[in-house]
Amino acid sequence: MSGSTWDEAAKVAGYADAATACRGVKNYFGTLPAVERDDLRDLWRQRMELLWTYAARDAEIGKPGALRAGTAIAQRAAAMDGLDAPTQVTVTADAAELSQLVEVLLAAQGGVVEASIWDDGEVLDADLVEE
């Protein structure tokens, strides 16, 4: 639960090895402990804070790889907290506005609209035709 390995837990509790410590916990509690997600996130936040401190210190003295390490730590922290999650864009427009937008986008890519995708309110398959 504290982030220690079974080997470390075995040494602290006086077991012969990791497997015996694991069996002892399972026999006593009837199951192995499961770490709550919030507790696990807190544990990793603390670890990343420590690593960030080291990376920042190393970057200040110009140690090779320190900036890359700091960037990796920042990326993992952002991913853990969902800060880098994709955003959803919702477009609300009527058929005429969408048709005009499609034509502009196709023209910008060098294509033309061969058929209207708005006929009868049904969506037709359309291909980009480059000239």
Residue 60: phi, psi to the nearest 5?
-65, -35
pLDDT of res. 116: 58
- Cα separation values, 39 from 28, 82, 110, Å: 22, 16, 53
Whole-structure pTM value: 0.43
pLDDT of res. 91: 66
pLDDT of res. 58: 95
Rounded Cα distance between 123 and 131, Å, is 24
Rounded Cα distance between 115 and 127, Å, is 9
Rounded Cα distance between 81 and 38, Å, is 11
35 CB-near residues (< 8 Å, 6+ apart): 1, 43
pLDDT of res. 105: 80
What are the beta bridge partners of residue 129? 112
* Series of mean pLDDT values for 10-residue runs along the chain (131 residues): 79 90 88 81 90 95 93 90 75 76 79 59 56 52
